[in-house]
Amino acid sequence: MKMLICCSFDGSNYHGYQVQRGGGVTVQSELNRAARELFGYECDIVGCSRTDAGVHARMFCAAISKRGRSDLPTALPPTKLPRALSAHLPEDICVYNAVEVEDEFHPRYAVIAKEYEYRYFVREVRDPFESNRSWHMPLPLHPDAVVKMNRAAAHFCGKHDFTSFMAQGSKIVDATRTVYQAGVTQEGNVMTFRVCADGFLYHMVRIMAGTLIECVTGQAPRDPDSIPAVIAAHDRASAGRTAPAHGLYLNRVEYPNHIFL
Residue 126 in contact with a copy of itself, rule: CB under 8 A:
yes
Residue 124 in contact with a copy of itself, rule: CB under 8 A:
yes
Residue 251 in contact with a copy of itself, rule: CB under 8 A:
no
Task: Choose the catalytic residue: 10, 52, 144, 225.
Answer: 52
Q: Is 52 a catalytic residue?
A: yes
- The mark string for 71-110 relative to a copy of itself (x by CB under 8 A, - otherwise) is -----------xx--x----xxxxxx--------------
Q: Cβ closer to a copy of itself: 8 or 242?
A: 8
Residue 9 in contact with a copy of itself, rule: CB under 8 A:
yes
The minimum distance between CB 110 and a copy of itself, in angstroms, equals 24
> Mind giving me the DSSP string for the chain?
-EEEEEEEE-GGGSS-SSPPTT----HHHHHHHHHHHHHSS-EEEEESS---TT-EEEEEEEEEEETTSS----SS-GGGHHHHHHTTS-TTEEEEEEEEE-TT--TTTT--EEEEEEEEEESSS--GGGTTTSEEE-SPPPTTHHHHHHHHHHTT-EEEE-GGGS-TT---S--EEEEEEEEEEEETTEEEEEEEES---TTHHHHHHHHHHTTSSSSSPPPGGGHHHHHHHT-GGGS-PPPPGGGEEEEEEE--GGGB-
> Catalytic positions, please?
52
Interface residues toward a copy of itself, by CB under 8 A: 8-10, 56, 58, 82-83, 86, 91-96, 123-129, 131-133, 138
